[in-house]
Amino acid sequence: MNRVLRSAVFFLLIALLWQGIAMSERLSSYLLPSPLSVVRYLYGAVVDLSLFAAAWVTLKRLVLGYAIGLLFGLPLGLLTAEFRLCRDTIGLLALGLQTLPSICWVPLALLWFGQTESAMLFVVIMGSLWSVLIATQTGVQTMPPIYVRAARTMGSKGLHTWLKVILPASLPFLVSGMKQGWAFAWRSLMAAEIYVTILTGFGLGQLLHYGRELHAMDQVIGVMLVIVLIGLLADRLFFSPWERFLYRRWGATG
Q: Does the footprint of other proteins cover residue 248 (CB under 8 A)?
A: yes
CA atoms of 22 and 133, how far apart (whole Å) = 47
CA atoms of 46 and 27, how far apart (whole Å) = 28
From the list 69-77, 139-147, 213-221, 227-235, the region that binds other proteins by CB under 8 A is: 139-147
Q: Does the footprint of other proteins cover residue 250 (CB under 8 A)?
A: yes
* DSSP assignments along 127-185, one per residue: HHHHHHHHHHHHHHHHS-THHHHHHHHTT--THHHIIIIIHHHTHHHHHHHHHHHHHHH
Asked if 174 and 250 count as a contact pair (C-beta separation under 8 A), the reply is: no
SS3 34: coil
Torsion sign, CA atoms 17, 23, 28, 31: positive
Q: Does the footprint of other proteins cover residue 149 (CB under 8 A)?
A: yes
Q: Does the footprint of other proteins cover residue 155 (CB under 8 A)?
A: yes
Q: Which of 31, 100, 101, 164 binds other proteins (CB under 8 A)?
A: 164
Q: Does the footprint of other proteins cover residue 161 (CB under 8 A)?
A: no
Least distance CB 161 / other proteins (angstroms): 11
Least distance CB 131 / other proteins (angstroms): 22
Q: Does the footprint of other proteins cover residue 169 (CB under 8 A)?
A: yes
In terms of residues, how long is the chain?
A: 254
Asked if 95 and 134 count as a contact pair (C-beta separation under 8 A), the reply is: yes
Size of the site for other proteins (CB under 8 A): 21
Q: Does the footprint of other proteins cover residue 212 (CB under 8 A)?
A: no
From the list 16-24, 133-141, 193-201, 243-251, the region that binds other proteins by CB under 8 A is: 243-251
Q: Does the footprint of other proteins cover residue 168 (CB under 8 A)?
A: yes
Q: Does the footprint of other proteins cover residue 162 (CB under 8 A)?
A: no
